[in-house]
A and B are shown apart, each in its own frame.
Chain A
Amino acid sequence: MRFGFNFWLGAGLTVLVILAGILAPWIAPFDPVLDADLMSSELPPDATFWFGTDAQGRDVYTRILYGAQISLTVGIVSQVINSMIGITLGMTAGYWGGWWDDLVNGLTNVMLAIPSLIFALAVMAVLGPGLPSLLIALGLTNWSWTCRIARSSTLSLKSQGYVQAAQTLGYGDLRIMFTQILPNMMGPILVMATLGMGSAVLSEAALSFLGLGIQPPFPSWGSMLTDARQLIQLAPWVAIFPGLAIFLSVLGFNLLGDGLRDSLDPHMRTRKP
């Protein structure tokens, strides 16, 4: 399998975000929440505060490093939930067919009819703000495409010789699904999950920006932008750096996902002369 330049750029950016999140407690010069000092608020970037300080005098660079932890948690956990729901529903629907298939199909269509950010907002309205509700909201939002892919892959894999052999040997339905079918459709699902991480990070940022996601003082990149509109004239760095962090990490996930897709499926490779 060969990977293009975009894939490696995406992988590099993703690794950078992961390292930032893991190493934050060691490489961050300050504490993300406690080192607030109104005497040093809204300082422009300099040698001590690389990305400047915010309205409470906290170091923006430190908070961005810690923010990577939240973004990664949101991206990974929400996509694990999404994939589990999508795989389970799609695979069983494709394998068993019948009324169950109709039901899953109907549910998928309904989910696709609700814009995903709106659905997440509704769930947040019920559960209230905070990280756990955010993980649930975003985990329940984006499984419909995964479900569709799982269903159609199952439909085509069902008639393969090795699946029929397993049926003849008397394997149970679930055993066939998880040992024979699932491993053969992991590629496209992995692609969906990688691209989904990008949109989950964007949704988290948007919800936190609206004040409905991660609550201050916790350093989420989105919540760091909440008061940026008021501050932007005086301290533009408060707005620029967290947004840049979101942009680069989402760019990383997207390039990684696109690159994975291109190398898994040569037909979908973008034609380049």
Chain B
Amino acid sequence: MLRFTLRRILQVIPTVVVVALLIFVIFSVVPGTFAASLFADGKRAADPQMIARLNEEFGLNKPLMERFVTYVTDLAQFDLGTSFRTRQPVIDLINDRMGASLQLAIAAMVFALVVGVPLGFLAALRPGSVLDTVTMIGAVSGLSMPQFWLGLLMMYLFALQLNWLPSFGYGDGSFRNLILPAVTLGVTPLALLARTTRAGVLDVLNADFIRTAHSKGMSEMKVVRWHVARNALVLIVTTVGLQFGSLIGQAVVIEKLFAWPGIGSLLVDSVAIRDIPVVQGTILVIVLWFLLINTAVDLIYAAIDPRIKQE
């Protein structure tokens, strides 16, 4: 298990390196334009002197190879560069907002798990029932809905009409502020979890070892707890891992909608003003998080299902 763990963690490193390269390449294909677009306000072209000064300050006029070497050496020292706009180190900007983002992402995933898994489970145990039909219609709707639109509607209903919850903002970081964004963000993983849990449980229920368990006189409760739940768990863990990626992506939109001070809204704001060092750094940190979560999922997976390790 230890060797597997180490190997899996080491596998993250090359991916991060390649992603870092990819980000560098993407943002280098149009050289020089960032400084220009940063100052252009749409009405008149940017002052050439200002552009020259910015290019000088951030080394944007140096040859590509030299910039690349600086980028890599900085990265190796966990230096993500300096913001064009605020002149603060990017890593500080990200650190300030990391907490709020994690809080939101975890709350959303917990909500999805706590509601989605039991729903899928119950639906699978009584296929064709009203609960099953309603759950599956709800799931396909949840997957087809723009999350920010659902968020808007919930904001309208629960904050503006009923006045139960604050409509947006982090407030003093209280739980009440977290509810609407977390529920909104949790809807898609919830729908997917309900669907995969149902499919997984149905699959297990048809398996031979369940019939064996029944025929050797095991009680229904015990069969479900010992065999069904355990086997469905593998599928659930995988779904959670895969869903974290799109959850982190969607969080960008939801954070913006609810004015949540996380790295998602930092990313969107920086894209809008083309503060490229912040965009690069934020994306890299998001990818790193996603990879770490997937690694953790793989490890949990291996702990649940011993067959995985042998591959």
Contact = CB atoms under 8 A, between A and B. Distances in A.
B267 interface: yes
Interface in A195-236: 198, 202, 205-206, 209-212, 222, 225, 228-229, 232-233, 236
B235 interface: no
Nearest to B205: A271
Nearest to B242: A112
A125 interface: yes
A173 B19 CA distance: 32
Interface residues of B, number: 52
B221 interface: no
Contacts, number: 140
Contacts of A115: 245-246, 248-249, 286-287, 290
B257 interface: yes
- Report, as a range, how many residues of chain A touch the other chain: 35 or more
Given A121-B271, A247-B145, A271-B127, A240 B279 contact: no
Nearest to A203: B249
B26 A126 contact: yes
A109 B274 CA distance: 28
A161 to B, nearest CB: 30
Interface stretch (B57-65, B92-100, B148-156, B176-184): B148-156
A116 B246 contact: yes
Given A110-B19, A125-B274, A233-B156, A118 B248 contact: yes
B140 A255 contact: yes
B105 to A, nearest CB: 12
Interface in B126-163: 127-128, 140-141, 143-150, 152-153, 155-156, 160
A272 interface: yes
Contacts of A239: 149, 152-153, 156
Nearest to A228: B152
A77 interface: no
Contacts of B287: 113-115, 118
Which of A240, A250, A271 counts the most chain B CB atoms within 10 A?
A271
9 contacts: A113-B287, A118-B287, A126-B30, A209-B148, A236-B156, A243-B145, A250-B146, A254-B143, A258-B140
A-B pairs, 10 with minimum CB distance: A117-B249, A243-B149, A115-B249, A251-B144, A250-B144, A125-B271, A115-B245, A206-B253, A273-B128, A110-B18
